[in-house]
Structure 1
Amino acid sequence: MDAVLDGIRDLLPVLRERAQETEDRRVLSAETVKSLAETGFFRLLQPTRFGGLEAHPLTFLTAVREIASACGSTGWVASVVGVHNWQLGLFPDQAQQDVWASDTSTRMSSSYAPTGKITAVEGGYRVTGRWSFSSGCDHATWVLLGGIIPPGEDGSPADFRTFLLPISDYTIEDVWHTVGLRGTGSNDIVVDNAFVPEYRTLSFNDTARCICPGQEQNPGPLYKIPYASIFSYAITTPIIGMATGAYQAHVEYTRKRVRASYVGVKAAEDPHSQVRVAEAAGDIDSAWLALQANMRELMDLVTAGTKLPMPLRLRVRRDQVRGTELSIRAVDRLFENSGGRALAVGTPIQRFWRDAHAGRVHAINDPERALSMFGRGEFGLPLNDAMV
């Protein structure tokens, strides 16, 4: 695992140099994706039986933070594409075989908002519709799409599932023109009446109960963690990484900056700047330390075969949205303290600021939902949310 992290750190200067080009292209280059793959990054959460490393989630998240500190768009794509290898490990074995049997380096993108139409048919489902924000889809040959199966005529309740489709069943429409995370290529996925067999679907209710079909072939502790814990941290960690990159860029810039309004006074000598950078550093550290502690506790418990207590699962989601909030606050403070020259196109601070705010609007970062769940748990009220 150390070799993967070492490879990522060796790659950071290149990713940093490519950051503006990545933004201008609106998609990661094939060279960048190839370089990430060569470090072993995409195999970190992949089952060992398909050439994966089944690494501790913190190894994966540490790598994501490092990547995002060099280029926000690259960190975002790496995280969301990389975490899909973990999710596929929860699917029935035949679905895993479909994707990895002939090529264990196959990648998947996703779009989970249930915006399409799902119709139950014999042996599976018919899927039609448009799904947005599929980050990294140009570098994937399968996609994971969210969909709701309507209530059955037999009285069975509606079910929210993930549907796995090969690239032959969908098209990609280039619609990604945004102010932030411009390099992620998060385009639309369009599906027209594709058949998805039952075995290529996974219920979110099963992921919430931590009882999924893939655990039979992948019995390791990594695959016993709730989906909401892994996926939510795969969204917050790149934002912590962006805040880290903004902090590094700000400190380097401020050491050399002379404030024009104070006739030759170095910005680094301004006590107000010193306070602001300390506050930003504290927020970033708080976000990351809470994430680390929670993920270690989750893994320790599942490794010991202990059932995960609901208060811990609720705390994970609480600290996840708070981690995003703290990171955004840090980036804002650093941007505000950087002066007018930070507005120039190509400067890292304004790119990190835009990228972090773009990541913040992901649905998993909505604080009210996660904080309300935590409050309900504290007050002993019932919980009916699969994203915990």
Structure 2
Amino acid sequence: MSEEHVFAEVRRLAPTVRERAAEAEARACVPEATIKELAGSGFFRLLQPRRYGGYAADPSVFFRCLRTLAHACGSTGWVAAVLGVEAWQVALFNPQAQEDVWGPDRDARICVSLAPVGTVTSAAEGYRLSGRWSFASGCDHATWAQLGAIVRDDEGKPVEMRTFLVPKEDYRIEPVWDTVGLRGTGSNDLVVEDAFVPVYRTLSADGIASATRPGYAVNPEPVYRLPLGSMFTTSIASPVVGMAEAAYDEYLDAMRTRIRVTGRAPVAEDPFAQVRVGRAASDIDAAWLQLSRNIADLYECARSGDEPPKGLRTRLRRDQVLATERAVRAVDLLMENAGGGAMRVGDSVLQRAWRDVHTARGHTTNDPEKALALFGKHAFGFDVDDPML
């Protein structure tokens, strides 16, 4: 199949994913059947290297899939984003690390928790790793985890941030996920107790950001030339837009037949409700149009062999955080006008989207002040440097 065929398959699966949204929430985990169907569609291979049967696809296809899946079920879109983009990140590692992951199983999936909370000690040809990592979305469906930790010198002073690839047999999952929104993501804790990680299965923050990533030796496709910050943050923002679109569609469907108690007129005839629809639709459109434009411009740089300029990278971060902000604002506008029935406990698409977008907003990459300050600093001519650029 081509990458566009994968997108078509994801669209075909969307109604079934939507039917399982309540099940995902009840189980606090995306159903295994959904993961198997997504794997069968080729979705998890979109950002996987071609040498392991992947597509090394145009990233815009990947992000369109995330938008589609999140429109059907916010939790499924979120888990698809995390597991899907990790295939891209593992492609940056030493070729032997990639072989460890995909050599025995080309369908291997990787979850992630990058907060540097672990404890690291040096060992012969590697490191010993211990600790507890939270928010590992989709970990029940992964056989590897990428975990962050700070390497320190003999005096305990920080030397560098590194990420560590750890197989499932070296960690255990602690089921702690119980939240208001994104309940189906199964973003549980991972616990590692003195696991050995060889040097080649680690990658420094500088290595991820460098123009000579280890994975370049075997993966020449342009998608792997994109900045980590751009890929990861857009993977977080794209599902949020899909969630907002689901809320918008559900609101329109519900309000076409709802009669307002005061005045006894249909809500659809209320000019103030119509204004809310106009504002919400514009916010959602603006969010997606800017995300799409920035990724297209970034990918064109990679295809041309050019280094993405800082202006484009800060613009992408600016628009990424504002895409999330616009999506949340759109859903709030609609929820405020949806009536008390929308707040009832039950299988409400609008209420689920409202809970999901607010939970997603709390992700560290969606902090608007930091990203907007980076853009403003660069616009004024100052040098900017951030791991999420």
TM-score of the pair, normalised by structure 2: 0.97
Pairwise CA distance, 1:373: 1.3
Distance (whole Å) between structure 2 residues aligned to residue 110 and residue 97 of structure 1:
18
Give the letter aligned to residue 227 of structure 2. Answer: P
Aligned with 2:384: secondary structure? coil
SS of the equivalent of 1:114 reads strand
How much does 1:37 deviate? 0.9
The letter of the residue matching 1:314 is T
Report the CA distance between 1:382 and its aligned residue.
Answer: 3.0
Q: How far 1:257 sits from its partner (Å)? A: 1.5
Partner SS, residue 42 of structure 1: helix
Greater mean alpha carbon deviation, residues 373-382 or residues 126-135 = 373-382
How many correspondences in the alignment?
Answer: 386
Amino acid at match of 2:121: T
Alignment partner, residue 331 of structure 1: 331
* Identity value in percent: 51
Give 1:249 shift: 0.9
Amino acid corresponding to residue 290 of structure 1 in structure 2: Q
Amino acid of the structure 2 residue aligned with 1:369: K
Tell whether the 8 Å contact from 1:110 to 1:134 is kept in structure 2 after alignment: yes
Distance 1:210 1:287, change over 3 A: farther
Measured against aligned partners, the alpha-carbon deviations of 1:233-288 in whole angstroms (never above 9, x if no partner) come to: 0001111110011111111111121112222x111111111110110010011110
Shift in CA distance, 193/80, structure 1 to aligned 2, threshold 3 Å: same
Residue of 66, 69, 72 corresponding to 2:71: 69
Post-superposition Cα deviations, 1:45-98, rounded to whole Å, max 9, x if no partner, equal 000100101111000000000000010000000111110000010000000000
* Counterpart residue type for residue 285 of structure 1: D
Instruction: Name which of 4, 28, 32 aligns with 2:6.
Output: 4
Query: What is the CA deviation profile of residues 86-128 of structure 1, one whole-angstrom value per residue up to 9, with x for unaligned ones?
Result: 0010000000000101110010111111111112222111111
Paired AA for residue 192 in structure 2:
V
Paired letter, 1:249: E
Change (3 A) 1:379 1:305: same
Distance in 2, Cα, partners of 1:317 & 1:293 = 12
Q: Distance in 2 between matches of 1:121 and 1:385?
A: 30
Distance in 2 (CA, whole Å) between partners of 1:141 and 1:50 is: 16
> Unaligned 5+ residue runs, structure 2?
none
Whether the aligned pair in 1 keeps the contact of 2:150 and 2:158 (CA below 8 Å) is no
Q: 2:374 aligned with 1:347, yes or no?
A: no
What is the CA-CA distance between 1:340 and the residue it aligns to? Answer: 1.0
CA contact (8 A) 1:65 1:241 kept: yes
Kept in 2, the 8 Å contact 1:211–1:224? The answer is: no
Shift of 1:205: 1.8
The answer to whether residue 350 in structure 2 is matched with residue 357 in structure 1 is no
Structure 1, unmatched stretches of 5+, are none
2:46 is the counterpart of 1:18:
no
Residue matched to 2:322: 322
Q: How does 1:108-147 map to 2 (within 5 A)?
A: 108-147=110-149
Offset of 1:366 from its aligned partner? 0.9
**Cα distance, 1:157 vs structure 2:** 6.7
What is the Cα-based RMSD across aligned positions, in Å?
Answer: 1.4
Deviation string 1:289-331 (CA, Å, 9 cap, x unpaired) is 0011000000111101112111111111111111111111111
What are the residue-to-residue correspondences of 1:249-328 with 2, within 5 Å?
249-263=250-264, 265-328=265-328
For 2:225 and 2:289, how far apart are their aligned partners in 1?
Answer: 23
- The answer to which of 7-16 and 41-50 deviates more is 7-16
Give the whole-Å Cα distance in 2 for the aligned partners of 1:360 and 1:190.
Answer: 26
Return the offset for 1:152. Answer: 6.4
Partner of 1:369: 370
Q: Partner of 1:206 in structure 2?
A: 207
Alignment of structure 1 residues 197-236 onto 2, 5 Å: 197-236=198-237
Question: Which is further off, 196-205 or 61-70?
Answer: 196-205
The answer as to whether partners of 1:210 and 1:225 remain within 8 angstroms in 2 is no
Distance 1:336 1:290 in 2: 26
**Structure 2: which amino acid aligns with 1:370?**
A
SS at 2:301 equivalent: helix
Of stretches 27-36 and 155-164 in structure 1, the one that deviates more from structure 2 is 155-164
Partners of 1:269 and 1:31 in 2: CA distance: 42
Tell me which of 99, 102, 117 is aligned to 2:101: 99
SS at match of 2:262: helix
| Alpha-carbon distance between aligned partners in 1 of 2:359 and 2:25, rounded to the nearest angstrom | 13
Instruction: State the partner residue of 1:32.
Output: 34
- Secondary structure in 1 aligned to 2:20? helix
Residue 82 of structure 2 corresponds to 80
Query: Does the CA contact (< 8 Å) of 1:8 and 1:67 recur in 2?
Result: yes
**Which digits, 9 at most, give the CA deviation of each residue in 1:140-184, with x for residues without a partner?**
11000011112467x997211211000111000000011110001
> Which residue identity is paired with 2:36?
K
Offset of residue 209 of structure 1 = 2.9
Counterpart-to-counterpart distance in 1, 2:199 and 2:339: 56
